Amino acid sequence: MPVWVRNVSQAALRPGGRLGVLAPDETQLSHTTLTLTANQAYLNRFYLVDPLAVVSIAFVITTAAGSNDSCDVGIYDSAGNRLASAGATAGKLNTGSNVVSSVALSVNLPGNSVYFAALSCGAVGSTAAILLGSNNGSTAYSSLWGATDTNMIAGYKSAAHPLPSTVTSKGTQQFPPLLAVRGT
Span 11-64, pLDDT tens digits:
433 344 457 887 776 555 567 888 999 999 999 888 888 899 999 999 999 999
Span 116-162, pLDDT tens digits:
999 999 999 999 999 998 776 665 555 556 666 666 777 778 889 99
Secondary structure (DSSP) of 136-158: -SSGGGGGTT-SSTTT-SEEEEE
